[in-house]
Amino acid sequence: MGTQLQTFTNLSYMGNPRLCGELLQIKCPGDNPPTGVPEEEDMHEDDEYYGGIWYFIGFAPGFVFGFWFMAWNAAASPNPLFCLFWMSLLFASATAQLCMEKERKALLDVRCGLSVADGRLSSWRGEDCCKWEGVECHNITSHVVKLDLSYLDGSTPNKSEVSSSLLDLEHLTFLDLSGNNFGGARIPTFLGSLTQLEHLDLSQGGFSGRIPYQLCNLSKLHHLALDNNGIEGTISETIVLLGNLQFLDLGLNNISGEIPESIGNLSKLSVLDLSSNRIFGAIPGSIGNLAALQNLDLSGNQISGQIPNSVGNLWQLEELSMSHNNISGSVPSSLGGMCNLNRIDLRDNRIIGELAEFFEQLSRCRNDIRLSLSLQNNEISGPLPIHMEKLQRLVQLDLVSNSLNGSIPTSLGKLSQLLLLNLSSNYLVGGLTEAHFANLTSLLSMDLSHNNLSVNASSGWLPPFHANVITMGSCNLGPKFPPWLQNQNRLNSLDISNTGISDFFPEWFWSLCTPLMQLNVSHNHMRGVLPSSLECFGLVTIFDLSYNNLEGFIPRMHYVGLYLDLSHNSLSGSIPESLAGDNLGFILLSDNRLNGSIPSSICTTYLQIVNLANNGISGALPDCWSNSPYLIIMDVSSNILSGGIPATLGLLNMLQSLHLSNNNLTGAIRSTLQQCRELTVIDLSLNELSGGIPSWIGWSLLSLRVLSLRSNKLSGEIPWQLSLCPSLQVLDLAHNSLSDPLPPSFGKFISMATRQTDKELVPLNRGSSYYTDSVIITAKGSQLLYTRTLSLVPSIDLSNNNLFGEIPEELTNLHGLRFLNFCKPSPTCPTWATLGFVGNYYRSSAQATTHPLEFQKKRTCTKMMSTMEEFGISLALLLDLYLASGYSWA
């Protein structure tokens, strides 16, 4: 101890009389005040050396001396609390950690490379890095052994970098950098030098490239998570050499190739996740060597072949997921004998065969482990096993969209633990009696839709369950409204659409006040009037009563849901101001008897589709559409609307379909519509619009596929710029006052140059499955309504205008054109005299021909008619086509 004790004063010995002695007057040289402040760099120049060696030289004898001295002092004290206090203090002093300066600097370098959100790592101050957030030091050596810097960047756009200063943390066993944005960088190869690592998590970090082979040096690694990145390449031998791995997650990447046979060498694996990659080929049989495996996820790949029987060797397996692949063959019966399984997910594959043997093996498990079984969207056939009551482990049975046939056995009703039952979209037949539901007391979700099933229950029967979801669409529940729904007061989704119900809604139904979120009673024969108030249904997100016989007014309610469909009924009155809540995205009220004007409140923020067609709505279109920036479809056709086209429609950048036909709209075509560059369908036909056809249609609306302006008061020339629309398939300008010759550029319509097949059908609108565009084409004397097949009938109708001049020879390039109409009405040239192209062939509605027509530069009417007569077209018809239309053949 040297002369240090000689510097103590009397106060230093207070409470310790045994240490008291003669006061010594010798002082330490360090008592003199410092003359200067050294630089921080000088202070820490040899910190690592002194912090390592001198710490232990001073700590060891000091600890021994102090421990025994204080232990003797505490033992001599008559106060037990005093003894406990000093012993605790000694223990705390013995375990105090001092941060290594080299490692502290390394941590700061690592921190500098990361994008850190405000408030994170605020504790990274001071000298003792062992107290910093996310840092853990060894309790004896004080070396940093654990570093958790996950999810630091929050929503900051800056990218992070992995600093090579990590190499100074030589004793690191745990490293977690997950949830940060490394901006597509490759996984650093120097991580392979951190040979003490046992846990490495780089998931959701935005890494790309291949897995570096240097990681094979991490022989102690037992946890490796690289999921949710952009990693490419194959599952290399780098991974397979990590023999101590217990957890391996490579899911949600771009890994391709086959699963190597050597995967079976990772015998300590308990979790293997290769989901959502591009892995192909068969599952290797060696996967059965992973005897410790508890979770296997191969879902979302392109794996083919059969499930190997060796999977049955994985006795410890608890979760198995191979969904969304191309797996074929039958379900191995050995899977049924794996009694620790609580989840089997094989949906969305090509699995065939019957389930009898597999279910038989399942029934032999005598434990109480609950099992969820999902086999939906496969090709499983045959009937359900008769003895379903043996499958008491089942809590979820999902067999939707297979080829199951036969009847549902009554033994199914004995599965008292069953929570979810989904047998929809099969070929099941027969009646369901009360016995089928007798003991399903735990059932929360039931979907039996799209089968040939009927429910045969007594009028007073009530189910033993209180489900959250009941889906019985396309079953036979009618003709009465099912009374057994009376006790279902926990429903949040009910679908009894197309079930043959021909009845009034019972009063108790509107008073259920369940937490209902989805209601679908469409495609029935429901009658009567809706209640004036639907307070109990104000939180419904999907409300579909379409295709019924409902009458009366639309209930006044502040509807906060997403989807409202009351179309195809006999509802009357006006649209309530309070109808549209802020979240309403779909308003479908077409084909009713509604009148009055359209309230401006309909322009909600999240509105995507509004369909008010085929009503008696009058007044002007509201000019409020700037409030609905997400609108993709507007259909208000076949009403009595007047006024002009609202200017704010031009602010709808996402608008794809605009149907304003069959109204009384006036004025010019709004120039603001040129900003709607996503438009695919414009139908303004059967109005009173005037002015010319804007040339900007060809410049701006390059996605346009249907343009119908027929039966208006448009005048002027047909702009040649229309031919710039590369996708235009239907052009209907008939029944206007257009003049001037037809532009030769009309022979350049790209989408009319070749014929499409039904395999090339593309929906007109890309935005929703809740609406199907339809367009009327006048051809061969008939008005034909086309919907999904519209792209198969490219057509041009310029009839009943004042066009003159030559028919351009370039039109012969339109080999895909099916209908072409130039006719102008006269006593011998009726409006149905339509010419149609089929490849290079002409057809006439008067008489069909299969002879090729070559446009020749014939300047005389006689020569032209003699040529056309060869194709069986009547002379009188040709004369009127030629003379009444004002055309000459080029």
- Distance set, CA 528 to CA 417, 548, 550, 630 (Å): 40, 10, 5, 35
Do the beta carbons of residue 714 and residue 685 sit within 8 Å?
no
pLDDT at 650 over 80: yes
DSSP state of 23: P
CB-CB contact of 239 with 261 (8 Å): no
- Please, which pLDDT band fits residue 512 given cuts at 50, 70 and 90? confident
Q: Are strands 319-321 and 343-345 parallel, antiparallel or unpaired?
A: parallel
Which among 536, 571, 535, 542 is positioned nearest to 556, based on CA atoms? 535
Residue 418 has pLDDT above 60, yes or no: yes
Could you tell me which residue, 53 or 855, shows the higher pLDDT?
A: 53
**Of 102, 161, 155, 150, whose CA–CA distance to 129 is shortest?**
102
Token duo for residue 561: 């849901």
Residue 677 clears pLDDT 50, i.e. is over it: yes
Q: pLDDT tens digits for 200-213? A: 999 999 999 999 99
CA-wise closest residue to 838 among 869, 782, 794: 794
Least confident of 20-24, 60-64, 430-434, 521-525: 20-24
Which percentage of the chain shows pLDDT scores above 70?
78
Give the three-class secondary structure for 252.
coil
For the chain, state the CA radius of gyration: 40
List, in sequence order, every beta strand (DSSP E) within 680-833: 681-683, 688-691, 706-708, 713-717, 730-732, 737-740, 775-779, 782-786, 795-797, 802-803, 805-807, 819-821
Query: What is the percent of the chain with per-residue pLDDT over 90, rounded to a whole number?
Result: 65
> Residue 514: pLDDT band by 50, 70, 90 thresholds?
confident
pLDDT tens per residue, range 792-848: 678 899 999 998 888 888 888 888 888 888 876 543 333 333 444 433 333 332 332
Encoding tokens for residue 857? 């530069």
Residues 211-228: what's their mean pLDDT? 97
Q: Which of 641-655, 713-727, 820-834 has the lowest mean pLDDT?
A: 820-834
Mean of the per-residue pLDDT values of the chain: 83
Residue-wise pLDDT for 735-759, tens only, equals 999 998 888 888 888 888 887 665 4
pLDDT of residue 844: 31
DSSP assignment string, 727-752: T--EEE--SSEEEEPPPGGGGG-GGG
- 877 pLDDT band, cuts 50/70/90, is very low
Mean pLDDT of 108-136: 93
pLDDT at 9: 43
Q: By CB neighbour count within 10 A (0-12 exposed, 13-18 middle, 19+ buried), where does 468 fall?
A: buried
Instruction: Average the pLDDT over 595-613 and give the result.
Output: 94
What count of residues does the chain have? 890
Average pLDDT rounded to a whole number, residues 327-355: 96
Mean pLDDT of the region 562-583: 89
What gap in Å lies between CA 518 and CA 716, rounded to an integer? 52
pLDDT band at 769; cut points 50, 70, 90: low
Say how many CA atoms lie within 13 Å of 140 toward its Cβ: 1
Q: Answer yes or no: is pLDDT of 28 > 50.
A: no
Res 762: pLDDT: 53
Strands 795-797 vs 782-786: parallel, antiparallel or unpaired: unpaired
> Quick one: which of 178, 285, 259 has its CA closest to 239?
259
Q: Confidence band (pLDDT; 50, 70, 90) for 78?
A: low
The whole-number pLDDT of residue 781 equals 65
DSSP letter at 554 equals: P
Q: Is the pLDDT of residue 574 over 50?
A: yes
Question: pLDDT-derived band of residue 777, with 50, 70 and 90 as boundaries?
Answer: confident
Query: Which residue would you say has higher pLDDT here, 711 or 860?
Result: 711
User: Given a cut of 90, is residue 682 above it in pLDDT?
Assistant: yes
The domains located in the chain, with CATH, are 4-29+49-94 (no CATH), 329-452 (3.80.10.10), 466-594 (3.80.10.10), 598-889 (3.80.10.10)
Confidence at 789, pLDDT banded by 50, 70, 90: low
At residue 433 the predicted structure's pLDDT band, cuts being 50, 70 and 90, is: very high
Predicted confidence (pLDDT) per residue in 49-65, tens digit: 444 444 444 444 444 44
3-class DSSP state of 708 = strand
Tally helices (H) and strands (E) across the chain: 12, 53
Mean predicted confidence (pLDDT) in 266-276 = 98
pLDDT of residue 757: 61
> What digits encode the pLDDT tens for the residues 366-413?
888 999 999 999 999 999 999 999 999 999 999 999 999 999 999 999
Per-residue pLDDT, 678: 95
